[in-house]
């Protein structure tokens, strides 16, 4: 069993949704016909903005509808996060748009207090693991990567962990090291999709989007600081064979999050 994934690393237009729709509409056209899932960066319509009052949308707003329309048009799953307002709260919400028009979502649990994200957004408290084409995929956002208990692959509940981000260049070594670590410790593939360029606050991003296999080996080819659309197939059978040969998960500790 294999699943093909397309990752898109791009420079985002600051708080300019229409320009970002156009950017990613063109990028999506470069996805392989074999690809089942297309992955965009965190807050792909705005950049990492705290301007919630002006940038937030509801779930029936234009950005979610854009994702739904694109997923239906290309007959692929589409992933990205948006600024969403719901019940008078703001969320950094990852959306998974299905080709059939269905949507699932995950609200970022670990808000980046260093940049005051916690003062503008409410945290989520529910994980999201979906079965897509027979493959179990867990979804996370950026800062979640630093918290291994939240990402723990208890009882091998997922095959792929997916992280979308706006992760600054000055901490790029943390990004790459933690992606690799999450792959090794959880015996899973890890997909990390980050942006490039400079945002409206003058923060630089080098991208460094990457895919690691369950051995911690980087198997993607996306380069730093470059626009890239990468198509890659992940072999789930080889993952399961490795887990059988080296069943480290059987010795894992149990954790409870309170």
Question: Rounded to the nearest 5 degrees, what angle is found at the Cα of 193, between the Cα atoms of 212 and 227?
Answer: 110
Among residues 15, 42, 169, 230, the one annotated as catalytic is 42
Catalytic-labelled residue, pool 142, 151, 169, 230? 142
Catalytic residue among 17, 68, 108, 109: 108
Question: Cα(204)–Cα(177) distance, rounded to whole angstroms?
Answer: 19
108 is known as an active-site residue: yes
d(CA 173, CA 79): 25
Task: Spell out the residues 6+ positions from residue 171 whose beta carbon is closer than 8 angstroms to its own.
Answer: none
245 among known catalytic residues: no
Answer yes or no: 240 catalytic. no
Q: What SS3 class is residue 202?
A: coil
Rounded CA separation 83/111 (Å): 13
CB 92 within 8 A of CB 43: yes
Residues annotated as part of the active site:
42, 108, 142
């Amino acid at each position: 069993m294999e699943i093909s994934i397309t990752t898109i690393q791009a420079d985002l237009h600051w708080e300019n949704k229409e320009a970002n729709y156009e950017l990613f509409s063109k990028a999506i056209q470069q996805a392989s016909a074999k690809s089942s899932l297309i992955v965009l960066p965190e807050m792909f319509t705005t950049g990492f903005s705290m301007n919630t009052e002006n940038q937030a949308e509801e779930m029936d707003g234009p950005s979610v509808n854009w994702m739904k329309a694109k997923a239906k048009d290309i007959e692929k799953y589409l992933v990205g996060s948006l600024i969403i307002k719901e019940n008078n709260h703001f969320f950094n919400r990852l959306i998974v748009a299905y080709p059939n028009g269905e949507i699932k979502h995950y609200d970022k649990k670990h808000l980046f207090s260093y940049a005051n994200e916690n003062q503008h957004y409410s945290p989520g408290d529910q994980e999201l693991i979906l079965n897509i084409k027979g493959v179990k995929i867990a979804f996370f956002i950026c800062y979640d990567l630093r918290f291994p208990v939240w990402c723990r692959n208890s009882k091998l509940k997922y095959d792929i962990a997916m992280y979308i981000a706006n992760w600054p260049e000055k901490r790029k070594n943390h990004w790459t090291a933690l992606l690799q670590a999450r792959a090794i410790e959880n015996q899973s593939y890890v997909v990390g999709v980050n942006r490039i360029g400079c945002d409206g606050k003058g923060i630089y991003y080098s991208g460094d989007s990457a895919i690691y296999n369950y051995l911690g080996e980087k198997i993607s080819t996306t380069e730093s600081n470059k626009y890239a659309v990468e198509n890659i197939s992940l072999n789930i059978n080889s993952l399961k064979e490795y887990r059988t040969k080296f069943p480290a998960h059987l010795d894992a500790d149990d954790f409870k999050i309170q």
